Structure 1
Amino acid sequence: MTNLLELYLKLVFLVLVGYILGRRLSTTVPKRLGQFLFWIGVPIGIIVFLRKADLSGQIWIAPAIAYCAILLGALFALAAIKGQAYLTNTAPRKSTQGSFILAAMVGNTGYLGYPVTLSLVGTQYFAWALFYDLLGTTLGAYGLGVALAARFGGGIHSHLQVLKAIAINPALWSFGFGLLFREVKIPAPVEFWLDLVAWSMVALSLILIGMRLSKLTSWHSLPRASISIAIKMLLVPLILGSILPFFGLTGTIARAIVLQMAMPPAFATLVIAETFDLDRDLAVTALAMGSMMLLLTLPIWLWLF
C-alpha cells in the first residue's frame, strides 16, 4: 500500500506538471521531448535498468504472453463489433472499427508501463516488463497493428516501411547493447549517476504523458471508448492473469506481467490512427479515459495478484 501511494503521488504530480506545461508551452515542445525520449532517454533507461534485472527463469515467455493479450483484445473487439451489428443492424464505419480494435489490443507498456513496474515490483523484475514491451507490444503495434490499420483505414501502406520502423527502433538496439553492458564493471559513483539519469528519463516520460493529455479534448466517442477500455484493461488481464500459474508464473513475476497487460491504450494507437486515417476522436478518447482509469484499476490487480 505504501508503494502504491508513493506511485500515485509521483504519477499524479508528474503527469499534472506535464499537463500544466502542455497547456502553456508550444505544441512543438512535447513533440521534441517525445523525440528525445524515443531516440535517447528511453534507450538510456533500458540500458541502465537492465544491468540490475534478473534474466533467469522463463523470461522469454513474456513476449508470448504479450502476443496472446494483443490477439485476445483484438478478438474481443471484433466480437463486440459483430455483436453490435447483430443487435442493432448497424455497424460503425471501418475507420471507427480500426481505432476500436487498436485501443483494445495495444497498451502503453513503455512510457507508462516501465515506471509503474519499476515502482511496484522493482528493478530486479524489470526485464519481464522490458521483454513484454519491446519483443511483444512494440512488434505487435507496428506489425499486426499497422496491418489492421491498413485494412480498416485509408489505404495499404508499404510493408517495407513497417519493417523499417521496427528495425530502426532505438529501444530494440539499446536492449541488445544493454545485455552486453551488463558484463561491464563500472565504478560506484558512475553507476550512481547513471541511475539518476535513468530515473530522470522515467520522470520525463510521465511529464510527456501529461503534455500529450493536455492536447486531448475530444470526448464524443466515450461509449465506444468505454467498451474498448473494458476489454483492454479489465477483461484481457483478468483472463490471461488467471492462467499464468499454469505456465509457472506466480508471485512478483505474475504481478509484473499483469501490470503490463493492464496498461491503458498506447499513444502509438493515435499515431497509427492518424497515419492510416482511422477514427482519431475514438483513439483520443480511449487514451485519455484509459490513463485516468489506471488509478482505479491498479489496486484491483495488486489485490488479485
Structure 2
Amino acid sequence: MVNLLELYVKLVGLVLVGFILGRKLPSTVPTSLGQWLFWVGVPISIVSFLRQTDLSGKIWIAPAIAHLAILLGAFLAWLGIKGQIYFSNTIPQKSTQGSLLLAAMIGNTGYLGFPVTLAMVGKEYFAWALFYDLLGSFPGAYALGVALGAHFGTNQNHHQFTQVARAIIINPALWSFGFGLLFRQIAIPQIWEIGLDKFAWSTVALSLILIGMRLSKLNTWGNLPQVGISLGIKMLIVPLILGSILPLLGLTGPAAKVILLQMAMPPAFASLVIAETFNLDRNLAVTTLALGVILLLLTLPLWLWLF
C-alpha cells in the first residue's frame, strides 16, 4: 500500500506537471522532448536498467504473452463490434472499427508501463517488462496495428508503409536493448554506474511529464460507448483472463506481477499515431487515451489485490 501511494503521488504529480506545462509551453516542446526521449533518454535508460535486472527464469515467455494479449484484445473487440451490429442494427464506420480494435489491443507498456513496473516491482524484474514491450507490444503495434490501420483506413500509399518499415528498423530502443545485453557483462567504474542509474530514473520522470503534455493537447471527447468497450476489454477483461492462467504457465511472484501490470496498461499513444496516419477515428483514439490514464488509477489497486 505504501508503494502504491508513493506511485500515485509520483504518477499523478508528474503527469499533472506535464499537463500544466503542456498548456503553457509552445507545442514544439512536447515534440522535442518526445524526440529526445526516443533517441537518447529511453535507449540509455534501457542499457542502465538491464545492468541491474535478473535475466534468469522463463523471461522469453513475456513477449509470447504480450502477443497473446494483443490477439485476445483484438478478437474481443471484433466480437464487440459484431454484437453492436446485431443488437442495434447499426454498422459502425470502418474508421471507428479500426480505432476500437487498436485501443483494445495496444497498451502503453513503455512510457507508462515502465515507471509503474519499476515502482511496484523494482529494477530486478525490469527485463520482464522490457521483453514484453520491445518484443511484444512494439511489433504488435507496428505490424498488426499498421495492417489493421491500412485495412480500416482510407489513407494508404506505399510511402507510408516505407516509413513504418523504416521506423521499425531504426528504432533506437531495439538497438539499445541488444547493446545493453552485451554491455551488462562489462565492468565500469562505480561513479559511472551511479550516473547511469540517476539518468535512467530522470528519464522515467520525463516520460511521465511527456504523457501529461500530450494529454493537455487532447481536447476532443466522443464515442463514449465504443470507448467503454475498448477500455473494458484492454484494461479489465484481457488482464483478468490471462492473469488467471499465469500460474498454469509457471509464472508466480514478481515476474507474474510485471506481466499483469503490463497487460493492464491503458491504450498506447501508438494507437493515435496509427489512427492519424490512416485516417481512422481520431476522436475515439483521443478519448480512449485520456480516459484510460484516469481509469488506471482505479484498476491498479484492483489487480494488486486480486493477484
Q: Distance in 2 between matches of 1:93 and 1:150?
A: 14
Structure 2 match to 1:266: 268
Q: Distance in 2 between matches of 1:299 and 1:210?
A: 22
Q: Distance in 1 between matches of 2:106 and 2:257?
A: 19
Letter in 2 for 1:137: S
Structure 1 match to 2:297: 295
Letter in 2 for 1:11: L
Deviations 1:223-248 (A, max 9, x none): 21111000000000000000011110
Deviations 1:46-83 (A, max 9, x none): 00001111101110110000000000000000000000
- Asked if structure 2 preserves the Cα contact closer than 8 Å seen for 1:150 and 1:157, the reply is no
Q: Distance in 2 between matches of 1:228 and 1:135?
A: 23
1:215 paired to 2:210: no
Q: Which ranges of structure 2 fall in alignment gaps of 5 or more residues?
A: none
For residue 156 of structure 1, report the CA deviation from its aligned partner: 3.7
Q: Which ranges of structure 1 fall in alignment gaps of 5 or more residues?
A: none
Within 5 Å, which residues of 2 pair with 1:34-49? Answer: 34-49=34-49
Structure 1 match to 2:248: 246
Q: TM-score, normalised by structure 1?
A: 0.98
Q: Distance in 2 between matches of 1:175 and 1:55?
A: 13
Within 5 Å, which residues of 2 pair with 1:113-132? Answer: 113-132=113-132
- Asked if structure 1 preserves the Cα contact closer than 8 Å seen for 2:104 and 2:230, the reply is yes
Instruction: Give the match's secondary structure for 1:41.
Output: helix
For residue 204 of structure 1, report the CA deviation from its aligned partner: 0.2
Instruction: Give the match's secondary structure for 2:246.
Output: helix
Letter in 2 for 1:76: L
Letter in 2 for 1:196: K
Q: TM-score, normalised by structure 2?
A: 0.98
RMSD of aligned residue pairs (Cα, Å): 0.9
Instruction: Give the match's secondary structure for 2:151.
Output: helix
Q: Distance in 1 between matches of 2:88 and 2:112?
A: 37
For residue 139 of structure 1, report the CA deviation from its aligned partner: 0.3
Classify 1:283/1:105 alpha carbon distance in 2 versus 1 (closer, same or farther; 3 Å). Answer: same
Q: Distance in 2 between matches of 1:220 and 1:301?
A: 28
For residue 163 of structure 1, report the CA deviation from its aligned partner: 2.6
Letter in 2 for 1:223: P
Letter in 2 for 1:221: N
Letter in 1 for 2:122: G
1:18 paired to 2:42: no
Deviations 1:117-147 (A, max 9, x none): 0000000000000000000000000000000
Structure 2 match to 1:232: 234
The alignment of Structure 1 onto Structure 2 pairs a total of residues equal to: 305
Structure 1 match to 2:98: 98
Deviations 1:232-283 (A, max 9, x none): 0000000000001111001111100000000000001001100000000000
Structure 1 match to 2:27: 27
Q: Distance in 2 between matches of 1:178 and 1:70?
A: 26
Letter in 2 for 1:145: G
Q: Distance in 1 between matches of 2:184 and 2:15?
A: 31
Q: Which moved more, 1:274-283 or 1:212-221?
A: 212-221
- Asked if structure 1 preserves the Cα contact closer than 8 Å seen for 2:155 and 2:277, the reply is no
